[in-house]
Amino acid sequence: MHCHICQQEAVGRCYTCGGLFCAEHGQVDCARCETAIAAGDPRPDRFTRSPMPASTYRPGWWRPQLAEDYEPPACYHCKGLARRVCQNCGSRFCPDHAGKNNLCADCGRSSWLGLIILGVMLLVMGFAVLLNMLPKI
């Protein structure tokens, strides 16, 4: 493997561009990336007077990257590890707070409300029909 600048024996790989460099042309980054001077490269974004700020510096994809802060999904009720999402309200829930039919416990309870109202209305209508059928005295 050879240095991408002078073709001598390479001793490392540049963190910025990924090119191989020899002992003379780099330590962590190659000489081109450290000085931001690339001979024969007319692109204006390659020339700077000072090192690039850390906010625009992107390490090479082949180097280990720091992981972003990761917070596992939490249950809406107990903040435990949640593996499911309620189909009704979209909140995450754990197995302890699961309702029926892929609903959370709160939506599972509220789904019974419609059935209870329907049952009460059927009872009232049935009772009204029975009252009309009875002979009047």
The residue that leads in pLDDT, 20 or 33, is: 20
Give pLDDT tens digits for 12-23: 888 777 788 888
Looking at every residue in the chain, the average pLDDT score rounds to 80
Percent of the chain with pLDDT over 90: 18
CA distances from 20 to 33, 34, 60, 108, 123 (A): 12, 14, 13, 61, 83
